[in-house]
Amino acid sequence: MTQPNTQYIEAQVKIALLEDLGGEVTINNDVTAMLIPAEHQADAHIITREDIILCGLSWAKEAFNQVDSSIKQTWHYKDGDKIAANSVLVDLSGNARSLLTAERTALNFLQMLSATATTTHQYTQYLNGSSTQLLDTRKTIPSFRLAQKYAVTCGGGTNHRIGLFDAYLIKENHIKACGSIEAAINKAKSLHPEIKVEVEVESLEELRTAIAAGPDIIMLDNFSTELIHQAVILNNKQCKLEVSGNITEERLTELAKTGVDYVSTGAITKHVKAVDLSLLIK
């Protein structure tokens, strides 16, 4: 997943600013900023209080630009950079009212997307030295799917399917509705032979059935580590294997030793804690 296009970013930022400014992007709607003399100019910077992987620079830039295109921005890093605590991310110069009006929107994007990238990076460290890749999921903040999946790649992770349209993921309820694992996989192949087929299994018996039907990927849902080892032997590299469910940082190291191809988790997009950033007027 590369960075979303300019139109996507512009639209997201505009929605955020409209929300903050009562339906019109104008500093006149920022009642607190009106306390500052209209002509007052200021210098500011954004610093990080903790070690981070940066993501969201284009969103932050756009927030300042939409509020006041005359604000001068000098960024010292790019998305994907590993940045130490207390580093200055950007120097800003311009109208003081404009800087403060754009502040929260810019920081919200930077904090959330950098948190996704930083958490992803932390998780990938447990997989170092193995061939196992870390995957994201569709458990993203609504309307931030592309942004968060981009942040995952900035943190060193790999994207699973983007949505419901670009890959099959046949889960328990699909199997029940279709009648069987075989029926679901066969129907998927016949409808869209060009699209990858993944199926979720919950036991070694279901794994055997799935292998025989020949999907591209089999997801081992909530398997114990012992069962995963057995599944890898049983599969014998016939299909790619993905592990999902009950994924913690502590467990990643042992999962990397099982030989599975992928570990997927919603935690890197759904359970992230915003990184600690501040905008300070000099």
Choose, from 10, 14, 91, 139, the residue flagged as catalytic.
139
List Cα–Cα distances, 112 to 69, 104, 117, 144, in angstroms: 24, 12, 9, 10
Contact 57, 19 (CB under 8 A): no
Cα 211 to Cα 204: distance, rounded to the nearest angstrom: 10
CB-count burial class (<10 Å; 0-12, 13-18, 19+) for 155: buried
269: phi then psi, degrees, rounded to nearest 5: -120, -25
Q: What's the token pair of residue 248?
A: 């913690």
Residue 221 appears among annotated catalytic residues? yes
Task: Kindly name the residue from 200, 206, 242, 261 that is annotated as catalytic.
Answer: 200
Catalytic residue among 221, 251, 270, 276: 221
How far apart are alpha carbons 282 and 280 in whole angstroms?
Answer: 6
Half-sphere exposure of 15 (CA within 13 A, CB side): 8
Question: What is the chain's length?
Answer: 282
Q: How far apart are CA 59 and CA 147, in angstroms?
A: 9
Q: Which of 104, 138, 145, 270 is catalytic?
A: 104
Q: Is 97 a catalytic residue?
A: no
Sheet holding 168-170, edge to edge: 133-135, 262-264, 240-244, 217-221, 197-201, 168-170
72 belongs to the catalytic site: no
- Measured distance CA(33)–CA(21) in Å, rounded: 12
Q: Give the containing element (helix H, strand E) for 278.
A: strand 277-281
Residues 27/35, Cβ–Cβ less than 8 Å: no
Instruction: Judge whether 200 counts as a catalytic residue.
Output: yes
Residues labelled catalytic = 104, 139, 171, 200, 221
